[in-house]
Every structure is written in structure tokens, then in C-alpha cells.
Amino acid sequence: MISLFMGMLAYTMIPYDTMDIVRHYEKFELFSSISFDELFLEGRLVDYIFNVYAWAIINIGLSKEFVPLSVTFISYYFYLITFKIIIDREFASSQSLYVSYKYIVLLGFFLIINEIRFMDASSGLRNIFSFSIFSYALISYIYTKKYFSLILLSLLAIGIHFSAFIALLIFLVSHFIRISTFSKGIYVVCYFLFVLGATDVIFYFAINKLEPYLREYGLYFPSYFDEDGVWGAGYYLTQNIKSLIFEKYIKTFPLYVAGLYFILFRNFKNEILSRYLFVLFIFITTISVSRTLLDRFNWFFVILFIYFLLIELINGKISNLKRVFIFVFSFSLITMDLGSIYKYRDIFGRSWGDLLYTPFIFKYDNHIEPYQYIIRNSGEQ
């Protein structure tokens, strides 16, 4: 019901004219006038699954708004059902004496709902959709050890957004990593370079080495990788101070806090997930200079970390230090949410103000038209 409610909010959302969903709506309108064969001339190979899905939605007669409705619904559903899998499996096997079932359910639900970014799910569509499937596949694999399901669902996620390929590759690499004193030293160095905003040297060194190979396979994106790229480091040069604070510090606040866990604590309960998060965080620090890449993997790390934290809490005694950590981590998520509410404040009243007296069912025939978009200069936040 929660997932469906969020999907209905996506269906009725009137976006800013600069949001990704505007570009998606334009593409969906195009899909209504092209054949299935012509569809494969649109976009890159890794976009095909999402394009086929959107094309099918449009061509069976449903409105373009049904795409964000269904994608948001499915994304929330996968994140919440993954949470349920962890709760069921961990309490069935551990019979924890340290923490109550109700406490973990309430805490986990609070953390997950605060971390799933509705605006990214309903506007960007593909990235959160893709990672929701991969997160489910990863947690399912941890409990079942079924490689086939992991690979099959990962391929589906990759076909929706290429970021899932990077997530899968890092997972495979993490199998060969041990959290030793040396690797933890690397982690600590990366963490403080990240906090100080000094990871650009590492990033551009790596990009310069990889550029020929990335270009060969059509995976070099100047807007993400160049120093003046509009969606990379150059993005911050175009923003005012409020937007800069939100993008660089408020959005990443939960990531800063979550990253501390592997510095403050040891002897983790789930070795597979702890190794993955350990390597994933180091990767994130190296690409953090690129605003878009950081944003895509930031929340993905945090939501996986929430799953990991719940496993830790179910299977171990909660020390005073952990209680302080949970409080600060929860505060960071609330801060991020408040920042998002302020950033997208114009959307709330325009899109859902009439829900106080108009049931969703009467809004089903409403269609979002371009003249309704909320005008906002890209630099105004």
C-alpha cells in the first residue's frame, strides 16, 4: 500500500521544467509514434529494457504518467520487500536476545523510508529502479547463495541503467578483498580525503588512464568525467550557495555518517555485505568529484548500509557508541529530507494540495501537460 501510494504521488506530480521526468515525458510521446523495430534505434544498448517497457506502456493505451507510477511503485516495493526478507531471515536464525522485533521493524522502516528519494525515483526513474532490483538480488543471494538469480536479476537491472553493472563489478571484486589492517588504512585515508574534498587527484588520474578504453566502448561521458563537465565537477560552478550546500553536504550527510561505521566498529556479522560496502565506499570516494556519479552511488550505498546496520543490530549487543551512531545517522537522514522538501517546495502544493479534498481516483484521468511545468532556472534552488 505504501508503494502504491508513492506511485500515485509520482503519477500526479507536476515537475519543475528542469527535471529529468520532463525529458522522459518527451521521449514517451515519441514512443507513441514509432514501431517496435524503430525503438531499437533510440538510445544505447543498456537502455533497451527500460525503453521497451515504456514503449509497451504507451502503446497499450496507458498514459505516459503510468510509467513513473509503475516505476516508483516497483522501486519502493523492492526496497521494502528486501527489508522484510532481512527481518524474517535474521530473526528466524538468530533469535536475538539483544533487540526486540518491533524496535528493529520501526527503526528499519523509518530509516529506509527516509533514504528512498521519492523525487529521484519519480523523476530520474531508471537509476533508482535499477538499483532497487539489484539490491533485492544482492540480499537474496546473501541468504540463498543462488548465483543464477543474482546474475539474471543483475542483467535486468543493467538493462535498465548501466550503473548496476558497476555495482555488480564492485561486488565481484569484493569477494577477493579482506578487511585487514592495511585495507582499513586505505579506507581511512579515502574517508578523510572525501570529507576534505581532496579526491579529485585520484579521480582524474584514474580517468586519464581509463579514457582510451572507455571511449572504445562508448562509455566516456565528458559531462560526467571532464573537470568542467556540466554533470561532473563543473556542476558546482553553476550553482548558487544554497544549491551548493544541499548537493555537496546535505545530500551526502548520511553517507559521511555511514562511512564512519567501518572506522568505529569491527567484527561485522555479515561478511559478504560488509566487504561489499567497504569496497563500495572506497569506490565512491574516488568518484566523488563527479556530482552525478556521487549522487547515483551515494544513496545506493546508504540504503545497503541500512540493511547491513539492521543485521548488525539484530545479531549483536547495542553498545552506547552504537546508540549514539544510530541517533546521528537518523538525524542525518532527517536533515537530508528537510533539505529535499525545501528544494522541491514548489511541487508539493501544486501537485498534491488538492488531495486534502480530492481522492486519487478522481485524478486518474489527469495528464501532466508542458504548460503546467513549474518554471525554474537551473541555478535557482
- Reduced to 3 states (helix: H, G, I; strand: E, B; else coil), residue 132 is helix
Q: Could you report the per-residue pLDDT of 246-282, keeping only the tens digit for each?
A: 777 888 999 999 999 999 998 888 899 999 999 999 9
- At residue 47, the pLDDT reads 64
Q: Could you report the per-residue pLDDT of 4-37, keeping only the tens digit for each?
A: 999 999 998 999 988 889 988 888 888 878 877 7
pLDDT band at 91 (very low <50, low <70, confident <90, very high): confident
Which residue reads 533508482 in cell numbers?
128
- At residue 379, the pLDDT reads 43
Give percent above pLDDT 90 in the chain: 39
- At residue 93, the pLDDT reads 74
Q: Could you report the per-residue pLDDT of 322-338, keeping only the tens digit for each?
A: 999 999 999 999 999 99
Q: Could you report the per-residue pLDDT of 119-141, keeping only the tens digit for each?
A: 989 998 889 999 999 999 999 99
Q: Could you report the per-residue pLDDT of 310-319, keeping only the tens digit for each?
A: 999 988 788 8
3-state SS string for 193-242: HHHHCCCHHHHHHHHHHHHHHHHHCCCCCHHHHCCCCCCCHHHHHHCCHH
pTM: 0.88
